Copies of this chain bind each other. A is one copy, B any other.
Amino acid sequence: MRILVVGAKGDIGQAICAELQPRHEIITAGRTSGDHQVDLTDLASVQALYQAVGPVDAVISAVGEVKFATLAEFTPDQMLFGLQNKVMGQINLVLAGLNVVRDGGSLTLTSGILDRDPVAVGVGAATANAALGGFVKGAAIDMPRGLRLNVVSPGLLDVSAAKYGQFFPGHVPVAATRVGLAYAKCVEGLPNGQVVIVDG
């Protein structure tokens, strides 16, 4: 398959590529890295990305920023930032891709563990992650041309634990290889409308 991976240079993106690269053609994209640059929050930029990449069988997103702060410090603007970036960015990728991905192809997004196992500074992530789950469930029933749509929701990756582990007290890190497999399931298998949980 020909697969576009957006956010390929992040920890999750690298796990995805490590799993899929041996048996597929991978085109990478990122805000500042990869074969193509894209700003997912800008629909025109997303459309230009699809135009530049050409037909693909699968689109995978492993991107999305949110703000981290305690509830007492959290502002509406910080919350909106996560909705505009992690949520709308990935939704833009889906909406613009509906007429681009080949018949029977798939789109796979990335959320995360913090809506089912929250941490003190994670309310923005919890909101964004859950929104993506709802989007996938709501959109999957209406996908055209046999397209499928799923979201992978991984726990803290083992390779990310040194950097982010302090914010996840007691969380069991997930092997990056297992996270990569979840995307393979979404791309090479036939799930649709699923939140694919990968916990440690």
Interface residues of A (CB under 8 A from B): 43, 70-72, 74-76, 79-80, 83-84, 87-88, 91-92, 95, 98, 114-116, 118, 120, 122-135, 137-144
Contacts and interface: CB of A to CB of B under 8 A. Distances in A.
A140 B115 CA distance: 11
A133 B118 contact: no
Nearest to A42: B76
Contacts of A92: 76
A58 B79 CA distance: 23
A137 B120 contact: no
Nearest to A135: B127
Q: Copy number in this complex?
A: 2
B126 A135 contact: yes
Contacts of A87: 83, 127, 131
Contact of A131 (B114, B134, B140): B134
8 contacts: A76-B88, A79-B91, A83-B131, A87-B131, A124-B138, A126-B135, A127-B135, A130-B135
A124 B131 CA distance: 10
A79 B75 CA distance: 21
A114 B138 contact: yes
A116 B130 CA distance: 12
Contacts of A124: 138
Contacts of A72: 98, 142, 144
| 4 closest residue pairs by CB, A with B | A130-B134, A126-B138, A131-B131, A123-B138
